[in-house]
C-alpha cells in the first residue's frame, strides 16, 4: 500500500510513520516527490492495516498498489522522477544526452571524444572499462585503467561519467569513478548485482534484457529500488526478434507505454538498437519525437578503428549533427532537450 502524506510533513513525523510500518513487519520505502512524500509499505498486511494508517493525522490517504512492481509504479509517486548526475538531467521533463565510445581504448581516444561531446552540449560521457563480451577471447576492457581515464575526462570536461558494472565484486570500485552505473542487458536479471547497486546511492541505468517483457523489466528495476536506491533510469536498447537486417529490433513504443506505468525515466540506445551507424541519426530523432527522456549513443573519433561495436558507432561530426536535429524535433514539440 502507499501511504500518501499531507504536504509539509516534517522529517520526524515521517520517521515515526516509517517505524510504525516496520513494526508491523512491513518494509517501508520513503519516496520524495517534488509535491508530496509517500511511504510505500511492502509485504503481507494484516486486516485493518490500511484503516489504521488512514486514520493518522499526517496521512492524507492510503491506496493499494495494484502493479506487481510497487516502488516503480507511477501510481506510487504520481509524478515523473528526475535523475541527475552533475549537469546531466534525465526525466521529469528534461531530456539528456549521453555519448561516448563503446570501450575506453586510450587516453587520446577518450579525451578527444569527451572534449567534442562537451562542445555539442551533451552532458554525459559513456565508455566501457569492464566489457561483457560474448567470447572469453575478445578484448575485455581496460578495467580500472579505463575507469581512471574516464575520471580524467570528467575532471577536464565536467561530463557525468556513465560506465558498466558487471559483478557485485566491482560495485565499490566502479562507484569510486562513475557518476552513473550501467547494468547491461545480459545482467538485467542478475539479481544479486541489482541488489548490490541498489545498496549504493549512485544513479543506475538499467538496460532492458534482449528478451525481457515490460513486467520483467520493471521488476528488475524493483530489485534496485527495493534496496533503497531510487535513482534508476530505464533504457530501451532493442530486443531480439526474427529480424536480422538490424542487430536488434528497437521498439520505440516502449517509451510511451512505460510512461503510462512508471515514474522512472526511460532513455533509448539507438546504437545497440539498430547496430547500423547510418540508421542512428534518424532513430535518434524518432526517439526524441516519441517522448524519451534521453539518448545514449556510441560515438568515436574514428569509428572504423573502434575495437568494439565499430559498425554501430558514429563519428563525432555525425553525432554533432544528430544532436542539432534532435534539438529541432524537441523544440517543435516543446520538449526540453538540454544541450
Binding site for a second copy (CB under 8 A): 42-43, 68-70, 132-137, 166-169, 186-187, 189-193, 210-211, 213-216, 219, 222-223, 226, 239-246, 249-253, 255-257, 260, 273-274, 276, 278-279, 282-283, 285-291, 325, 328-329, 331-333
| Structure-derived torsion over alpha carbons of residues 105, 111, 114, 116, reported in degrees to the nearest 10 | -120
Least distance between a second copy and beta carbon 22 (Å): 16
Q: What is the 3-state secondary structure (H, E, C) of 110-130?
A: HHHHHHHHHHHCCCEEECECC
CA distance 262 to 76: 9
Least distance between a second copy and beta carbon 85 (Å): 24
| Residue 113 vs 252, nearer CB to a second copy | 252
Q: Is 231 exposed, middle or buried (0-12, 13-18, 19+ CB in 10 A)?
A: buried
Least distance between a second copy and beta carbon 16 (Å): 25
| Residue 30 vs 194, nearer CB to a second copy | 194
How are beta strands 59-63 and 2-5 bridged, if at all? antiparallel
| Residue 165 vs 233, nearer CB to a second copy | 165
Least distance between a second copy and beta carbon 174 (Å): 13
| Residue 53 vs 223, nearer CB to a second copy | 223
For residue 208, the SS3 value is coil
Cell numbers 503481507 correspond to what residue? 44
Least distance between a second copy and beta carbon 246 (Å): 5
| Residue 16 vs 213, nearer CB to a second copy | 213
99 neighbors 319 (Cβ within 8 angstroms):
yes
CA distance 259 to 291: 9
Cell numbers 524493483 correspond to what residue? 222
Least distance between a second copy and beta carbon 8 (Å): 31
Least distance between a second copy and beta carbon 9 (Å): 26
Which H or E run includes 3?
strand 2-5
| Residue 125 vs 307, nearer CB to a second copy | 307
| Residue 19 vs 213, nearer CB to a second copy | 213
Rg (CA), the chain: 20
Amino acid at each position: 500500500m502507499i501511504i500518501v502524506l499531507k504536504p509539509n510533513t516534517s522529517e520526524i513525523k515521517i520517521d515515526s510513520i516509517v517505524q510504525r510500518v516496520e513494526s508491523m513487519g512491513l518494509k517501508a520505502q520513503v519516496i520524495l516527490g517534488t509535491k508530496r512524500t509517500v511511504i510505500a509499505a511492502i509485504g503481507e498486511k494484516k486486516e485493518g492495516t490500511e484503516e489504521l494508517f488512514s486514520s493518522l493525522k499526517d496521512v492524507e490517504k492510503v491506496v493499494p498498489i495494484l502493479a506487481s512492481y510497487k516502488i516503480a509504479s507511477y501510481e506510487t509517486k504520481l509524478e515523473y522522477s528526475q535523475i541527475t548526475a552533475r549537469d546531466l538531467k534525465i526525466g521529469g521533463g528534461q531530456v539528456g544526452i549521453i555519448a561516448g565510445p563503446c570501450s575506453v581504448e586510450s587516453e587520446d581516444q577518450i579525451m578527444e571524444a569527451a572534449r567534442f561531446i562537451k562542445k555539442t552540449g551533451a552532458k554525459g560521457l559513456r565508455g566501457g572499462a569492464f566489457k561483457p563480451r560474448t567470447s572469453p577471447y575478445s578484448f575485455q576492457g581496460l578495467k580500472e585503467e579505463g575507469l581512471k581515464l574516464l575520471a580524467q575526462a570528467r575532471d577536464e570536461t565536467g561530463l557525468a561519467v556513465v560506465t558498466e558494472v558487471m559483478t557485485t565484486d566491482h560495485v565499490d570500485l566502479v562507484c569510486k569513478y562513475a557518476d552513473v552505473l550501467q547494468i547491461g542487458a545480459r545482467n538485467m536479471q542478475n539479481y544479486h548485482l541489482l541488489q548490490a547497486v541498489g545498496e549504493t546511492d549512485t544513479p543506475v541505468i538499467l538496460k532492458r534484457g534482449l528478451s525481457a517483457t515490460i513486467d520483467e523489466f520493471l521488476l528488475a528495476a524493483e530489485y534496485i529500488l527495493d534496496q533503497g536506491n531510487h535513482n534508476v533510469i530505464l533504457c530501451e536498447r532493442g530486443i531480439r526478434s526474427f529480424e536480422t537486417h538490424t542487430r536488434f529490433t528497437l521498439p520505440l513504443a516502449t517509451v510511451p507505454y512505460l510512461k503510462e506505468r512508471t515514474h522512472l525515466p526511460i532513455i533509448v540506445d539507438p546504437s545497440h538498437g539498430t547496430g547500423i551507424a547510418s540508421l542512428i541519426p534518424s532513430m535518434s530523432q524518432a526517439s526524441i519525437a516519441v517522448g524519451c527522456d534521453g539518448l545514449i549513443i556510441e560515438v568515436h573519433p574514428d569509428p572504423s578503428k573502434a575495437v568494439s561495436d565499430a559498425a554501430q558507432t558514429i563519428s563525432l561530426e555525425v553525432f554533432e549533427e544528430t544532436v542539432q536535429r534532435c534539438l529541432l524535433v524537441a523544440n517543435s514539440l516543446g520538449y526540453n532537450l538540454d544541450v
